[in-house]
Amino acid sequence: MAGELSSILDHVDKLAEVDIEGVEPTSHVVPLENVLRPDEPRPSLDREVALSQAPDPHDGAFRVPSPQAES
Amino acid sequence: MSTEYDAVIGLEIHVQLSTKTKMFCGCELSFGDEPNVHTCPICLAHPGVLPVPNQTAFEYALKIGAALDCELSPVSTFDRKNYFYPDNPKAYQITQAATPFAIDGRLGQVRIHHAHLEEDAAKTIHTGGAGRIKGSDASLVDFNRGGTPLVEIVTEPDLRSGSEVREWGQLLRATIKQLGVSDVNMEEGSLRCDANISIRPVGSETLGTKTELKNMNSFRFIERGIEAEIARQKEVIASGGAVEQETLHFDPSTGELHSLRSKEEAHDYRYLPEPDLVPVVPTQAMLEEALKLPELPAARAARYEGIGVGEQAALLLSFEVDWAEYFEGVLAADDSIEPRVAANWVTGEFAAELRKQDDQPLAESKVDPASLAKLIGLVASKKISHGAGKTVLEAIVADGSDPEAVVAEQGLEQISDSGELEQIVIQAIEDNPKPAEQVRSGNEKAIGALVGAVMKATQGRADGGEVNRLLRQHLGL
Amino acid sequence: MADLMAATGAQTAALISSGEASADEVLDFWLERASGDGLNGYLWTADRESARAGVDGSGPLAGVPVAIKDIFCTEGVPTTAASRILEGYLPPYTATAVARLNAGGMPMLGKTNMDEFAMGSSNENSAYGASLNPWDRGRVPGGSSGGSAAVVAGGLAPWALGTDTGGSIRQPAGFCGIVGLKPTYGAISRFGMIAFASSLDQCGPLTRDVTDAALLLATLQGRDQMDSTSVGIEGGISAPGAERLDGLTFGVPRGLIGQGIEAGVLARFEETLIKIAELGGTIVDIELPHAGHAISAYYVLAPAEASTNLSRYDGVRYGVRASDEDLLSMYEVTREEGFGPEVKRRIMLGTYALSSGYYDAYYGRAQRVRTRIVEDFRNAFGQVDFVVTPTSPTVAFELGEKTADPWTMYQSDLFTVPMSLAGVPAISIPAGLAQPDGGGPDLPVGFQIAAPAFAEQKLLEASFALESAIGFDGSAGLEGGLR
């Protein structure tokens, strides 16, 4: 996989040919600003539903193994 | 020759905003509820969900920016800060890295580098291994807190000691509290403070290697933690070592510092502009609303000092709006009372009496400002003595009765007839020949016994100054 | 009974509303077809009850079922994005796009196969096996919405929902001989659509004809308060009816076309240009000076966004957890086992492009090249009404033909990626059949038309007129779907 990645990066490196002097970056193409939500509560999930997809639900919470360093 | 060192301290303060709902979803904020009852697909980072920012959170943030005298950014954007941890469900935190909503501010003597808006992490509780197949330790994750709006305030390294940090921190807390945008309760974590600490030789402009002291839940502990860390760094250098960059935790019960992690494992957060959100460009209306600030503690304290209130009392009053309002109520009720005297009564005798009587909160006190003003007026106009004033205070705090009625009932009115008082003084000298003789022979301290005798005879209704004057006159001094 | 197989989505809706077919008959007919899937086009198919579980309204298309790409979250219905890491996942909510169809009375026929997390151009990156092209089952249907394209072209669904990040609707539509529309970025809500590259992903229809694409778009489009980046299309969308192209100018970026393009594809393209002229349209050559760099920019930007979008699959709250040993192995083993090779490749690429020290050289630069491409289109649309290209340089290729070299596979999206970066709408309509360069069966060729942002109605009108003039016959594909 390392070889494939490096070959992709070789192609991508051709971007250096493009003159980007003074060009602003584009993160968005939508002409929008100030899309904000009123501070109004919406219903939360029932806890059973929230936990229903969890691999290891326990005591109403999502259980995960501890970091090795602290065990 | 040993080198003297200065400490250089900068703070990162996280303030949870007291909005109704989370930063990017409609789940209600809560504290102390059962775990995972305030979650939804968005704050659990289910596949496909998108954030939509809370308008009120943004407005609250702008208010904090304005109160810290910051420049409010005309365009404010969000970024993703990437790191894996179970309390960070998207594995990126939405924050503001490139263009925070506020920059370049100041509160008191401390410059504010910037303030940005972000979302809080969930809560992870480490548990034992009970119940797990492999028996190893586990953690439980509760996402109720996850996504709470946070404003992070980052200061310049302008603080020099633990006590400065405590005092400034209290000012910051009082300031934000007054804005009404956060509970700023350190024990509940709605205000959290990290300190970056380094030391350098006096006169040096170069910053030393800094350590980070994490997340302490009171400014007293922060003060002690910082002092301990400064002492530790001085020791390390004195013994020829070098301070290492690390994150520390201070245990207030033992006074010890523990290393949490060294910066060698420093993260590359791979920030990128959050493509799911569009820029916030505060409108004129939003900016005007943000700039409608109440009188903030620093300004209020300065104003009080300007009308003669002592520094300590001015700060005490300014940090608690209800006390300041009470104080101003006293002044309003009787404009002949000197502000200094009123402030001393309010923050001194009155506050002490409330504490003494079941720790009454001010809001529940039976004594209104006009009533306290009446009492202060009685003392100031010498209608009653200061001592009698305390007796009256005790009574009115207990049952809310009228100060004048208490004076009348208990016969506390000061003896204003000099003739009557003079008779009592003469009698006291006669009854106490020994101290009288001592005073006459030059031991002025012995006069105390005679004053006491007069006070006893008048049940505290005599003016101390007048008693003194009469005693000295009759003792031929 | 009416010939439901011959009917488009719009025609089926008309049969229902005129009473010639009942909604039950229509649903049963398509459930029966879907259950005979010989293309591995579906990852899950509904029954009568589950198909209508979310339906809570009615509209002009009521009763006509839709196949949904498995990238859309559907409450209580398996949603995997064709990844092992989401095996068994039942979302607690439904995507806005699907909810809009349901609110229009349209049942869900099934969830269609795709490249894992929409990363791919052949459907061979599905963790559940590739979907097959109904025109030739030895060939790919294209990707990533390959399942959606295959089931529509193969007569296993009247129409389908797909998503397009760099060509994932248009390219498979072209390979399968159907219509695929990628609307303007922001036209349709992304809420509930599993993110690949957030600034590029857009939902759209895959249909038998342009009218169906218009009608589905009309139902799907609109501002959604759950998606900060959604805008909707002002004035909405109506069924197109144009017959001529008089006064319209079509720009051909000759500089882009030519690289590695098959002779048959080029021939169909040139013929279509002639048809445009016959309908009164004007053909001019234009320049998109930076479009040649689009693939390179795309393979920085999309993986960068993907690398963070896919970080949430950690085995904590849903999906598969492959190790419980300790925290680090939970992350590492889960993601190592859960993701396929192309997904891992792109996560690595994106992580690299965002890492400190490389950000400016890769991500920052690609964002600026994207600006250049946005400007290219702005300039082009100052001169012409539409930009046209072949949808892909080739017809559908053979399974396994391009899996060895990722960059060759990426070239499949040469003509579709520039429009994605610019965020403008683009459609692929069938332009006839052609043999691959190396010889083989006659296979569909797609013709791509792009328009300025939010000019979907105009785009659909032109496409409608051209579609009628081309008169493509997709019946050979329709016969290739059943087992």
- Are B278 and A35 a contacting pair at CB < 8 A? yes
Q: Which two tokens stand for residue C216?
A: 């589905």
- Are B54 and A39 a contacting pair at CB < 8 A? yes
- Are B136 and A66 a contacting pair at CB < 8 A? yes
Marked catalytic residue, from C168, C230, C412, C463: C168
- Are C308 and B84 a contacting pair at CB < 8 A? no
Per-residue pLDDT tens digits of chain B, which is 477 residues long? 468 899 999 999 999 999 999 999 999 998 889 999 999 999 999 999 999 999 999 999 999 999 999 999 999 999 999 999 999 999 999 999 999 999 999 999 999 999 999 999 999 988 865 544 455 579 999 999 999 999 999 999 999 999 999 999 999 999 999 999 999 999 999 999 999 999 999 988 888 999 999 877 899 999 999 999 999 999 999 999 999 999 999 988 888 998 886 655 567 999 999 999 999 999 999 999 999 999 999 999 999 999 999 999 999 999 988 999 999 999 999 999 999 999 999 999 999 999 999 999 999 999 999 999 999 999 988 888 888 899 899 999 999 999 999 988 888 887 767 788 888 888 888 898 888 888 888 888 888 888 888 888 887 788 778 888 888 888 887
C168 in catalytic set: yes
Q: Smallest CA–CA separation between B134 and chain A, in Å?
A: 10
In chain C, which residues have their Cβ closer than 8 Å to the Cβ of A35?
228-229
In chain A, which residues have their Cβ closer than 8 Å to the Cβ of B281?
33-34
Kindly give the pairing relationship between strand C108-112 and strand B79-82: unpaired
Using a CB–CB cutoff of 8 Å, tell me whether A26 touches chain B. Answer: no
Are the C-beta atoms of C418 and C372 separated by less than 8 Å?
no
Determine the 3-state secondary structure of C351 from DSSP. helix
Give the E-state strand segments of B34-148 in sequence order.
71-72, 79-82, 92-95, 102-107, 110-119, 123-127, 138-142
Q: How far is CA B7 from CA B198, B202, B203, B211, B258, in A?
A: 6, 9, 11, 12, 20
In chain B, which residues have their Cβ closer than 8 Å to the Cβ of A37?
26, 52-55
B333 and B214 in a common domain: no
CB < 8 Å from A in window 47-106 of C: 89-90, 92
Q: Smallest CA–CA separation between B276 and chain C, in Å?
A: 6
d(CA C216, CA C210): 10
CB < 8 Å from A in window 228-257 of C: 228-229, 231
In chain A, which residues have their Cβ closer than 8 Å to the Cβ of C296?
11-12, 14-15
For the complex shown, is ipTM > 0.85? Answer: yes
B345-373: burial string, b at 16+ Cβ within 10 Å, e else: bbbebbeebbeeeeebeeeebebebebbb
Are the C-beta atoms of B453 and B431 separated by less than 8 Å?
yes
Residue B388's pLDDT is what?
Answer: 86
Output DSSP code: residue B47: T
In chain A, which residues have their Cβ closer than 8 Å to the Cβ of C321?
55-56
Neighbouring chains to B with at least 3 Cβ pairs closer than 8 Å: A, C
Q: Which two tokens stand for residue B149?
A: 């709006």
Number of CB atoms found within 10 A of residue B13's CB: 22
B219 and B346 in a common domain: no
Q: CA-based angle B388:B391:B395, to the nearest 5? A: 140
Kindly give the pairing relationship between strand C386-390 and strand C249-252: parallel
Instruction: Enumerate domains of chain C plus CATH numbers.
Output: 9-241+462-478 (3.90.1300.10), 292-366 (no CATH)
By residue count, chain A amounts to 71
B239 and B120 in a common domain: yes
Residue C70's pLDDT is what?
Answer: 98
Q: Smallest CA–CA separation between C152 and chain A, in Å?
A: 31
Residues facing C10 on adjacent strands: none
B322 and B451 in a common domain: no
Q: How far is CA C254 from CA C134, C278, C420, in A?
A: 32, 20, 19
> With 50 as the cut, is the pLDDT of residue A69 above it?
no
Residue B46's pLDDT is what?
Answer: 98
Nearest beta carbon to residue C326 from set A4, A55, A71: A71
Determine the 3-state secondary structure of B166 from DSSP. helix
B239 and B315 in a common domain: no
Dihedral sign (CA C74, C78, C83, C87): positive
Helices (H), B259-320: 284-291, 297-306, 311-319
3-state secondary structure B333-373: HCCCCCHHHHHHHHHHHHHHHHHHCCCCCHHHCCCCHHHHH
In chain C, which residues have their Cβ closer than 8 Å to the Cβ of A66?
326-327
* Structural domain total, chain B: 3
B161 and B63 in a common domain: yes
B96 and B220 in a common domain: yes
Residue B445's pLDDT is what?
Answer: 84
B256 and B301 in a common domain: no
B453: domain CATH number? 1.10.10.410
What one-character-per-residue DSSP string does C210-244 give? Answer: HHHHHHHHHHH-S--TT-TT----TT---------
Q: Smallest CA–CA separation between C363 and chain B, in Å?
A: 9
C69 in catalytic set: yes
B129 and B87 in a common domain: yes
Closest by CA to B117, choosing from B19, B183, B215, B186, is B19
- Are C295 and A11 a contacting pair at CB < 8 A? yes
Using a CB–CB cutoff of 8 Å, tell me whether C345 touches chain A. Answer: yes
Tell me whether the omega of the peptide bond preceding residue C144 falls within 30 degrees of 0, making it cis. Answer: yes
- Are B280 and A27 a contacting pair at CB < 8 A? no
Residue C24's pLDDT is what?
Answer: 97
Q: Domain range holding B452?
A: 418-474
d(CA C159, CA B20): 43
C144 in catalytic set: yes
Using a CB–CB cutoff of 8 Å, tell me whether C137 touches chain A. Answer: no
Mean pLDDT, to the nearest integer, of A6-16? Answer: 92
- Are C199 and A4 a contacting pair at CB < 8 A? no
- pLDDT above 70 coverage of chain A, percent: 94
Q: Which two tokens stand for residue C185?
A: 């970025």
Share of chain C residues as helix, strand and coil, in percent rounded to the nearest 5? 40, 15, 45
Low-confidence ranges of chain C (pLDDT < 50): none
- Are A36 and B280 a contacting pair at CB < 8 A? yes
In chain A, which residues have their Cβ closer than 8 Å to the Cβ of C319?
53, 55
CB within 8 A of B355, min separation 6: which ones? none
In chain C, which residues have their Cβ closer than 8 Å to the Cβ of A17?
293
B240 and B155 in a common domain: yes
Phi, psi of B135 (to 5 degrees): 75, 0
Using a CB–CB cutoff of 8 Å, tell me whether B128 touches chain A. Answer: no
B75 and B140 in a common domain: yes
Closest chain C residue to the Cα of A2, Cα to Cα: C345
Residue at which a domain ends, from B290, B316, B351? B290
Determine the 3-state secondary structure of B76 from DSSP. strand
Residues facing C139 on adjacent strands: C398
- Are C316 and A24 a contacting pair at CB < 8 A? no
Residue at which a domain ends, from B239, B262, B290? B290
CB < 8 Å from A in window 287-306 of B: none
Nearest beta carbon to residue A25 from set C186, C295, C367: C367
B333 and B230 in a common domain: no
Residue B120's pLDDT is what?
Answer: 97
Neighbouring chains to A with at least 3 Cβ pairs closer than 8 Å: B, C
Residue at which a domain ends, from B290, B312, B330? B290
In chain A, which residues have their Cβ closer than 8 Å to the Cβ of C409?
none
For the whole model, what pTM was predicted? Answer: 0.92
Share of chain B residues as helix, strand and coil, in percent rounded to the nearest 5? 40, 20, 40
Q: Smallest CA–CA separation between C230 and chain B, in Å?
A: 10
Number of CB atoms found within 10 A of residue C149's CB: 40
